[in-house]
Amino acid sequence: MTYRSSWMTEELDAFRDPFRKFLAKELAPNAEKWRKQKMVDRSAWRALGEMGALLPSVPEAYGGLGATFAYDAAVFEDMADVAPDALGGVTVSSGIVAHYILNYGSEEQKRRWLPGMARGELIGAIAMTEPGAGSDLQGVRTHARRQGNAYVVNGQKTFITNGQTADLIIVVARTGEPGAKGLSLIVVETSGNDGFRRGRNLDKIGLHASDTSELFFEDAIAPPENLLGGEEGQGFTQLMQQLPQERLIIAVCAVAAMERAIRLTVDYTKERKAFGKPIIDFQNTAFKLAERKTEATIARVFVDWCVGRLIAGDLDAVTASMAKYWCAQKQVETVDECLQLHGGYGYMQEYPISGMFVDARIQKIYGGTNEIMKLLIARSL
Ligand SMILES: Cc1cc2nc3c(=O)[nH]c(=O)nc-3n(C[C@H](O)[C@H](O)[C@H](O)COP(=O)(O)OP(=O)(O)OC[C@H]3O[C@@H](n4cnc5c(N)ncnc54)[C@H](O)[C@@H]3O)c2cc1C
C-alpha cells in the first residue's frame, strides 16, 4: 500500500515534481563547493525564491504564496531528500524567522522585509544562544537599552545559523528585569550597522555547507520600531509560541532523512555481494532494514498528524517536543545503522550516508536539546 501524507494536495503534487528536478539540477551539484566555502551561495537563495520555495505560507500581500504549512513541509522534505546541504539556512529564514515577523511585526516591517526574504534577497537569522546561555534562555545577557530614538544592543551570541550571511537577525535581548519577563525580540539589520560584527564561521563536524557563527553586538543600533510585538518583555512568550513550528520542522526533516537513508541502504545492500549473495539476503540486514522502515513509517504518520494540527492552529508545545525528540533520536539511530550496513564504504565521503551520519547528530541538540524536550513532556504528565 502506498502511503500518502494526509496534508498532501494535487496542487502540491504539481509543485513538487518540477521542484525536485530543479533541486537535483540546479542546487545539488553545488554541494561540494558550498561545503568547502562553508556557506550556500546567495544565487541559490534567489533561485529558491524564484521557484516559490521560500516563505510559501506567508500571505501574498507580503510576497509569499498564501499557502499553509503543508507547503513548507513539502519544500523541507524535498530539500532534505535531494539537496540537503542548502536546507539548514532555509528552514531558519523561511520556516522560522519569517513567521516571527509575520506574527509580531508591524505592517510596515512585514512589507519591508518579507517580500525580500521570499525572493531570497534577504536572509534571516535568529540569535537566542549565547556562550553562557543555551538551554536556559532565561540567562540571556545580551541587552538592549533605549537611548534617544534607538535601541543600543550589546552582547555576544554563538552557534547562529546564517550568521555569516544574515541581513536581519532577530536578537533575544534583555530590555528589563532578570528572568523571562525581561526579554524582548529585536530585529537588528546588519547592513551599515557599525556596532554589529560577525565572528568566526565555526568549524563543525557536519552540516558543512551551513554557516554557523559567533555574533558580536557592541553598541549595535536598532530603531525602536524593530522591537517585535510593540511592547517590551514579550520575548519569552513569543519564543514559546513559535518554538512548536521550529520543532516540527526538525521532525519533518528527520523523517525525510530517515526515509532517504533507508532507500539508499536498500539499494546498496541489493547491489553489494558477500559470501556469494547480495547482503540484503542476510537475515540480519533485512531485519535491520525492516525495523528501521517500520520506525520511519511510525514517525511519518505521527509527524503528518502534527503537521495537520499545526495547520489547524492547535499543535501544542508538548506534542511538538515529542515529535522533535523522538524523530531526531530515530534519525540518529537510523543513519548509524544504515552506515553500518554499507560497511567500510559507509565511512567514505563519496557515499552520501557518511554525510547523513554527521549531519544527523545536531538534530538532538539544536531547537532545544532532546533532554529539554523530555523535561517539557515530563512537566505535562
Ligand atoms: C549547528 C548548530 C546550529 C545552531 N543554530 C542556532 C540558531 O540559529 N540560533 C540559536 O539561537 N541557536 C542555535 N544553535 C544553538 C543550539 O540551539 C544550542 O546549542 C542548544 O540549545 C543547547 O544549548 P548549549 O549548547 O548551550 O548546551 P547546554 O544548555 O549547555 O546543555 C549541555 C547539556 O546539558 C543538558 N541540559 C541542560 N539543561 C538541562 C536540564 N535542565 N536538564 C537536563 N539536561 C540539561 C543539555 O541537554 C545538554 O545535553 C545551534 C547550534 C548548532 C550546533
Amino acid 244: pLDDT: 94
Percentage, residues of the chain above pLDDT 70:
100
Pairing of strands 168-174, 124-127: parallel
The three grid cell numbers given for residue 208, joined into one nine-digit string: 558543512
User: Is the CB–ligand 1 distance for residue 117 below 6 Å?
Assistant: no
pLDDT of 1 above 80? no
Per-residue burial over 41-73, b if 16 or more Cβ lie within 10 Å, else e, is: beebbebbbebbbbbbbbeeebbbbebbbbbbb
- Domains of the chain by start residue, with CATH: 10-122 (1.10.540.10), 125-232 (2.40.110.10), 237-379 (1.20.140.10)
The three grid cell numbers given for residue 172, joined into one nine-digit string: 533575544
* Ligand 1 atom closest to residue 129's alpha carbon, by position in its atom list: 11
User: Is the CB–ligand 1 distance for residue 205 below 6 Å?
Assistant: no
Between the CA of 366 and the centroid of ligand 1 the distance, in Å, is 6
* Ligand 1 atom closest to residue 126's alpha carbon, by position in its atom list: 9
Amino acid 16: pLDDT: 97
Q: What are the helix (H) ranges across the chain?
A: 10-22, 31-37, 42-50, 69-82, 87-90, 98-104, 107-118, 235-271, 283-312, 317-341, 352-360, 370-379
Amino acid identity, residue 59? P
Amino acid 207: pLDDT: 97
**Comparing C-alpha atoms, which of 34, 16, 28 is closest to residue 352?**
28
pLDDT tens for residues 325-335?
Answer: 999 999 999 99
Q: How far apart are CA 141 and CA 156, in angstroms?
A: 8
pLDDT of 278 above 80? yes
Using CA positions, which residue lies closest to atom 38 of ligand 1? Answer: 135
User: Is the CB–ligand 1 distance for residue 375 below 6 Å?
Assistant: yes
User: Is the CB–ligand 1 distance for residue 129 below 6 Å?
Assistant: yes
Using CA positions, which residue lies closest to atom 31 of ligand 1? Answer: 135
Amino acid 49: pLDDT: 98
Using CA positions, which residue lies closest to atom 24 of ligand 1? Answer: 134
pLDDT of 2 above 90? no
**Comparing C-alpha atoms, which of 145, 167, 26, 11 is closest to residue 89?**
167
User: Is the CB–ligand 1 distance for residue 240 below 6 Å?
Assistant: no
pLDDT of 377 above 90? yes
Active site residues: 246
pLDDT classification of 336: cutoffs 50, 70, 90: very high
Using CA positions, which residue lies closest to atom 44 of ligand 1? Answer: 371
* Ligand 1 atom closest to residue 135's alpha carbon, by position in its atom list: 29
User: Is the CB–ligand 1 distance for residue 360 below 6 Å?
Assistant: no
Between the CA of 375 and the centroid of ligand 1 the distance, in Å, is 14
Q: What is the DSSP track for 90-120?
A: HIIIIIIIHHHHHHHS-HHHHHHHHHHHHTT
The residues with which 156 forms a beta bridge, in sequence order, are 216
**For residues 186-213, average pLDDT:** 97
Probe target for ligand 1 pocket from 91, 93, 129, 138, with the most ligand atoms within 8 Å of CB: 129
Q: How far apart are CA 296 and CA 3, in angstroms?
A: 12
User: Is the CB–ligand 1 distance for residue 106 below 6 Å?
Assistant: no
The residues with which 193 forms a beta bridge, in sequence order, are none
Q: How far apart are CA 120 and CA 191, in angstroms?
A: 16
pLDDT classification of 366: cutoffs 50, 70, 90: very high
Between the CA of 361 and the centroid of ligand 1 the distance, in Å, is 13
User: Is the CB–ligand 1 distance for residue 171 below 6 Å?
Assistant: no
Percentage, residues of the chain above pLDDT 90:
99
- How many Cα atoms occupy the beta-carbon half-sphere of 308 within 13 Å? 11
User: Is the CB–ligand 1 distance for residue 250 below 6 Å?
Assistant: no
Probe target for ligand 1 pocket from 172, 207, 369, 370, with the most ligand atoms within 8 Å of CB: 369
CA pseudo-torsion sign 236, 332, 305, 262:
positive
Quote the DSSP letter at residue 84. G
